[in-house]
Structure 1
Amino acid sequence: MSRPTNKEQLLNLSQGNYRRLTDFIDALPEKHSTKEFPAQYMNRNVRDVLAHLHHWHLLMLDWYKTGMAGQVPVMPAEGYSWKTLPELNKMVNEKYSREKLQDVRKMFDGSFLQLQQIIARHTDDELFTKKKYKWTGTTSLAAYLISATSSHYDWGLKLIKKCLK
């Protein structure tokens, strides 16, 4: 599916890519779901990928809450800039490194549902009009949500498939 241009497409793509990712993970034999990825990847296993996605959900949820309250959210996160994303992602990786896959999966599923609720409560205009909200800058709320959901799930699935070959 091409980039969404309305709420229905946004929901369908985010839910579809989520299902593709989770169905793939659910179908993995246990030895693959815990298999270590090649050393050159920061995310070392399926848990790390899901933890990464979950944490970026949380970042999006925080940006949304702060921005919709009329304040300017710190992006990407307190103490980090877009230029220091590798350091932020390393911190995320370390934060969840002692968690079990099934616990991270529950967190990921829960934060996914929270983002779906945000999408569902907005109109096409609210989602897709650029500069509608001061906090989204020159882009739209949907652009942030696409990045935090469907595009990111596609990245996660591709990474997992590549690393488990």
Structure 2
Amino acid sequence: MQEYLSKEALIDAVKKTYALFDKEFDAVPEQKLNVRCPEVDRTPQEMLAYQLGWLQLVMGWEQDEADGKTVVTPSPGYKWNQLGPLYQHFYAEYNGYSLQELRELLSGSVEKWCNWVDRLSDKELFTPNIRKWTVTNANWPLWKWIHINSVAPFKTFRTKIRKWKKHVCSVG
């Protein structure tokens, strides 16, 4: 996992990896948004819904803790060792949105995400145990949660969407 030396470097990584991921959708035809291919485990709609779901979920944990609520991770009714049903929830939540709508929602979520990160202090970002919800499972400093839910999947899904396009869009 990438080690960041500053908040600015983390925000820059989020923005750059998101921009590269988003650009891949320029060549995805709307009518193929939900086409599945055996070579890739998610459709383009599912990739976007996954990202929207996780960004909102993590920011929800942050808001719940700030409001003095008990944070349930990953989400009420879901356990860490059974994330498949949570992903299905994300896919269903964003089903029926157009490709453009999904991209706009994700763009807005990434902007909120980066604004949230920008408001955090270095102590909040780089010191373990500052947030109760970060201790729940992995006991990572906040920056790792931010990376693992934005930069890492943006890179992974960029590879997946490129592979998906190769198999689906070149078939006619």
Give the whole-Å Cα distance in 1 for the aligned partners of 2:32 and 2:22.
12
**Map of 2:169 onto structure 1:** none
**Map of 2:108 onto structure 1:** 110
Write the deviation string for residues 100-149 of structure 1: whole angstroms up to 9, x where unpaired.
11111111111111111111111222111111222211221111111221
Give the superposition deviation at 1:43.
2.5
**Map of 1:163 onto structure 2:** 164
Give the whole-Å Cα distance in 1 for the aligned partners of 2:116 and 2:54.
15
Unmatched segments (≥5 aa) in structure 2: 167-172
Q: Which amino acid aligns with 2:37?
A: P
Using the aligned pairs only, state the percent identity. 23
1:21 and 1:156 in contact (8 A); partners too? yes
Runs of 4+ in 1 over 6 A off after TM superposition: none
1:18 and 1:153 in contact (8 A); partners too? yes
Give the superposition deviation at 1:164.
2.0
Give the whole-Å Cα distance in 2 for the aligned partners of 1:96 and 1:42.
17
Equivalent runs, 1:1-165 vs 2, <5 Å: 2-26=2-26, 28=27, 30=29, 34=33, 36-39=35-38, 41=40, 43-44=42-43, 46-137=44-135, 138-165=139-166
Give the whole-Å Cα distance in 2 for the aligned partners of 1:94 and 1:40.
22
Give the superposition deviation at 1:29.
5.3
2:22 and 2:103 in contact (8 A); partners too? no
Give the whole-Å Cα distance in 2 for the aligned partners of 1:33 and 1:148.
26
Unmatched segments (≥5 aa) in structure 1: none
Change (3 A) 1:130 1:49: same
Q: CA RMSD in A?
A: 2.2
Secondary structure of the 2:77 match is coil
Give the whole-Å Cα distance in 2 for the aligned partners of 1:153 and 1:47.
14
Give the superposition deviation at 1:40.
6.8
Change (3 A) 1:104 1:55: same
Alignment: residue pair count = 163
Secondary structure of the 1:164 match is helix
